[in-house]
Structure 1
Amino acid sequence: MSTTTDTADTVHRWLRDNARPVHGTDAADTGTDLRTLTDHLAAATVVGLGESTRFSRQTYGIRERILRTLITEHGFRALAVQDSARSGARLDAYVRTGSGDPYTALAGAWRPLRTAETVATLEWLRAYNIDHPGDQVGVFGIRPAAAESADYDEVLAYAHRWAPDRAGELATYLTPIRSAHRIDEHVQRHQGIHPGRPFAEDARAALTLLQALPQPSTAEAAAAYSTALDRARLIVAFHENSVAGRGGFGGDDPQPARTIIDHHHATGARIVYWDGIAHTAAGESGIGPADTRFHSEGSGLRAYFGTGYLSVAIGFHHGDLGTAIAPDPHPDLLDADLGAVDLPAYFVDLRDDAPPEVQAWRAAPARMRVISGVYDPAADEAARFEVTSAAAAFDILVHIRETSPVQWLPEPADE
Structure 2
Amino acid sequence: MITEYLLAATIAVTGVTLPPADAVAGVAPPLADAVAGVAPPPADVAAGVAPPPAESVSRWAQRNARPLATVDPRASLTDLRHLRPAIGDAAIVGLGEATHGAAEITTLKHRVLRLLVEDLGYRTVAWEEDWSLGLLINDYLRTGAGDLPGLVSQMSTAWRSREVTDVLRWIRAWNATHRDDDDVTFTGVEAYGTRPLIYQRVESYVASRAPARLDEARAHLRPLTPKDDNMQEHVRWYWLDVTDKALYLRHARELHELVAAVPHAPGDRTHELHLHHARQIAGFYEQFADPNPYAYRDAHAAKNLRWTQQFTGGRVAYWAASGHTLDGPQLRLTQPPYPVLEIANVGSFIRDWYGTGYRSLGFTVDRGAVVADGQVVTMPPAAPDWLEAPMAEVRADQFTLDLRAGAPPLVRRWLTGPTRTRGLPAAGAESYLAGGSPGQWFDVLVHRQVVTPVT
TM range (shorter): 0.7 to 0.9
Distance 1:121 1:143, change over 3 A: same
2:158 matched residue in structure 1: 112
Worse-matched range after superposition: 106-115 or 389-398: 106-115
1:305 matched residue in structure 2: 354
Please state if 1:395 is matched with 2:443: yes
Residue 287 of structure 1 contacts residue 385 of structure 1 at CA under 8 Å; is this kept in 2? yes
2:326 matched residue in structure 1: 281
Distance 1:6 1:381, change over 3 A: closer
Amino acid at match of 1:87: L
Structure 1 residues 1-400: aligned runs within 5 Å = 7-133=53-179, 134-144=181-191, 146-147=193-194, 180=232, 200-202=239-241, 241=287, 249-251=294-296, 253-284=298-329, 285-289=331-335, 290-322=339-371, 323=375, 324-371=377-424, 375-376=425-426, 379-400=427-448
CA distance in structure 1 between the partners assigned to 2:173 and 2:191 by the alignment: 28
Amino acid at match of 2:191: P
CA distance in structure 2 between the partners assigned to 1:204 and 1:236 by the alignment: 18
Deviations 1:291-312 (A, max 9, x none): 4221111111110110000001
Residue 250 of structure 1 contacts residue 294 of structure 1 at CA under 8 Å; is this kept in 2? yes
- Give 1:41 shift: 1.1
Residue 146 of structure 1 contacts residue 235 of structure 1 at CA under 8 Å; is this kept in 2? no
Residue 149 of structure 1 contacts residue 178 of structure 1 at CA under 8 Å; is this kept in 2? no
Amino acid at match of 2:381: D
Distance 1:66 1:204, change over 3 A: same
CA distance in structure 2 between the partners assigned to 1:30 and 1:148 by the alignment: 39
CA distance in structure 2 between the partners assigned to 1:236 and 1:107 by the alignment: 26
Distance 1:26 1:307, change over 3 A: same
1:404 matched residue in structure 2: 452
Residue 240 of structure 1 contacts residue 246 of structure 1 at CA under 8 Å; is this kept in 2? no
- Give 1:246 shift: 6.7
- Give 1:366 shift: 1.3
Deviations 1:88-142 (A, max 9, x none): 1011101111121212322332221221112111111111111112311100000
Worse-matched range after superposition: 99-108 or 309-318: 99-108
CA distance in structure 2 between the partners assigned to 1:272 and 1:12 by the alignment: 30
1:215 matched residue in structure 2: none
CA distance in structure 2 between the partners assigned to 1:131 and 1:250 by the alignment: 40
Amino acid at match of 1:104: G
Q: Between Structure 1 and Structure 2, how many residues are aligned? A: 341
- Give 1:367 shift: 0.2
CA distance in structure 2 between the partners assigned to 1:316 and 1:338 by the alignment: 9
- C-alpha RMSD over aligned residues: 3.4
CA distance in structure 1 between the partners assigned to 2:173 and 2:50 by the alignment: 52
- Give 1:315 shift: 1.1
- Give 1:27 shift: 1.8
Residue 46 of structure 1 contacts residue 308 of structure 1 at CA under 8 Å; is this kept in 2? yes
CA distance in structure 1 between the partners assigned to 2:282 and 2:357 by the alignment: 37
Q: What is the SS of the residue equivalent to 1:339? A: helix
Worse-matched range after superposition: 140-149 or 319-328: 140-149
Q: What is the SS of the residue equivalent to 2:382? A: coil
Worse-matched range after superposition: 52-61 or 316-325: 316-325
Q: What is the SS of the residue equivalent to 2:308? A: helix
- Give 1:31 shift: 4.1
Residue 52 of structure 2 contacts residue 411 of structure 2 at CA under 8 Å; is this kept in 1? no
Question: TM (normalized to structure 1)?
Answer: 0.73
Residue 87 of structure 1 contacts residue 106 of structure 1 at CA under 8 Å; is this kept in 2? no
Residue 22 of structure 1 contacts residue 34 of structure 1 at CA under 8 Å; is this kept in 2? yes
Distance 1:6 1:94, change over 3 A: closer
Moved over 3 A (4+): 1-6, 147-151, 177-181, 197-200, 202-205, 234-242, 244-253
